[in-house]
Structure 1
């Protein structure tokens, strides 16, 4: 992607994200419809849907040749990442949004032929914008984020991870993960994959693990984390496709090997 084109996309995407965040803050104090999707804990609100419609309408009007992948289904049915594709989660952390009115984010990743070019994560209630362009570093608001510390001490790591490893799955053994939690310094759960990626990039946590994430959960965070030296793969160290659900391991490169090796012991 040419620099001028990317800079224009970057500025426009940031403006839309900030506008969408303002809209969410104005609407969230009123009454809105809450429904569930795949299960009673998989929540969606009319504000999720309206926010995704907001992005889709503006992208289609301004960049009609761009593809869109969105959590709420208002985008395109894509089978490849050819061309320029926006990958959008209008509210990442909907349960937090509903119950806490905080700890949720807008997540927008822009990819060109499968390569992440732009990542934007907006912590709406804290008014913190994490953003990055490929090969140009990552930022929190106007402050450039420092490269991740290459701390090789596995036992001193703080890792963000959700509860899904406790559920029956084919990825890891529960006892191995219990030992993993005992071995590291601490585990944290924030309820928003986008914010976990942002906190990793900021250095608040040292790594992030999830057993099941969708492309819209990952797309922006992957770009931002990689711009501070993070490595973002499946828990097996394989490249993420951005078209399917997958496991995720994100951390600095020194920790990545240690964590992947530890978890591999629990593969079934």
Structure 2
């Protein structure tokens, strides 16, 4: 089997596994959920998260039973291996939306080889949307995607993503200010993978954070942006990886401005 065939197989499985998890999440959506805190007041989890992750893992293990899985919940490993194949899973990205009955949540699965994505899926079941990326391109519900072609920052919409907790709320304020000073408008969606997917689709023009995000919150969507013609870097302007600090994504046309906004969050504006 050629490398392309193997990557096709992994990209297809990412969609099926994400569908399996999203179906479990949707079944419990807007039911009487018991909400638990994992740490901070806004870091919540439900049994639906765990059940959805199990459904994703079961689907993966049917075809690749011995491959590492990086997952948000339970005892799955939390770091992406440097070498070989692995899977990165977020069973419900946007759990705070989910527990409030807001439709914007999803299941994200990325297949990686030597730390680099070869296929990914983000399924937003309450919206009926499936974003997927593989050797044949990046799609939303089978329609091919491309990032926006906007070049004027004052026409762009940028999203601050990944949550700043209460002890870093001044950074959240700085992110808002930096975006409002440069761009036409701002969105905060409460679902990092959906935000990234929407940059790939051209619905948003940029996404910024200065923190080191978890791979399950970012790898699938970042891969889709690149496949759709966009740019994803760290705060230094270098190519973003799953272990980078900061994530700055854009349509490429306004990346310098998006990067400046991201650097202002913690006062790291460069000339």
TM-score (norm 1): 0.88
| 1:101 Cα deviation from its structure 2 partner | 4.0
Query: Helix, strand or coil for the counterpart of 1:53?
Result: helix
Matches within 5 A, 1:32-111: 32-76=33-77, 78=79, 80-111=81-112
Distance 1:55 1:175, change over 3 A: closer
Distance 1:58 1:175, change over 3 A: closer
| 1:79 Cα deviation from its structure 2 partner | 6.0
Q: How far apart are the structure 1 equivalents of 2:217 and 2:138?
A: 18
> 1:222·1:232 contact (CA, 8 Å) conserved in 2?
yes
> 2:71·2:78 contact (CA, 8 Å) conserved in 1?
no
TM-score (norm 2): 0.87
Matched, 1:238 2:241: no
> 1:166·1:174 contact (CA, 8 Å) conserved in 2?
no
Question: Which residue of structure 2 aligns with residue 115 of structure 1?
Answer: 116
Which runs of 5 or more structure 1 residues have no equivalent in the other structure?
none
Distance 1:75 1:184, change over 3 A: same
Q: How far apart are the structure 1 equivalents of 2:78 and 2:94?
A: 23
Q: How far apart are the structure 2 equivalents of 1:32 and 1:160?
A: 29
> 1:198·1:221 contact (CA, 8 Å) conserved in 2?
yes
| 1:27 Cα deviation from its structure 2 partner | 2.5
Matched, 1:194 2:193: yes
Q: How far apart are the structure 2 equivalents of 1:121 and 1:13?
A: 9
Matched, 1:151 2:150: yes
| 1:73 Cα deviation from its structure 2 partner | 3.5
Question: Which residue of structure 1 aligns with residue 225 of structure 2?
Answer: 225
Query: Helix, strand or coil for the counterpart of 2:253?
Result: helix
| 1:267 Cα deviation from its structure 2 partner | 1.2
Q: How far apart are the structure 1 equivalents of 2:163 and 2:78?
A: 27
Distance 1:131 1:68, change over 3 A: same
Q: How far apart are the structure 2 equivalents of 1:4 and 1:175?
A: 46
> 1:215·1:245 contact (CA, 8 Å) conserved in 2?
no
Q: How far apart are the structure 1 equivalents of 2:3 and 2:95?
A: 35
Query: Helix, strand or coil for the counterpart of 1:249?
Result: strand
Distance 1:170 1:80, change over 3 A: farther
**Cα deviations across residues 47-92 of structure 1 (Å, max 9, x unaligned)?**
1011112222332342123211001134235463311111110000
Q: Which moved more, 1:115-124 or 1:203-212?
A: 203-212
Q: Which moved more, 1:35-44 or 1:52-61?
A: 52-61
| 1:19 Cα deviation from its structure 2 partner | 2.6
Query: Helix, strand or coil for the counterpart of 1:208?
Result: strand
Distance 1:99 1:148, change over 3 A: same
Query: Helix, strand or coil for the counterpart of 1:24?
Result: helix
Count of residue pairs the alignment pairs up? 265
**CA root-mean-square deviation:** 2.6
Which runs of 5 or more structure 2 residues have no equivalent in the other structure?
none
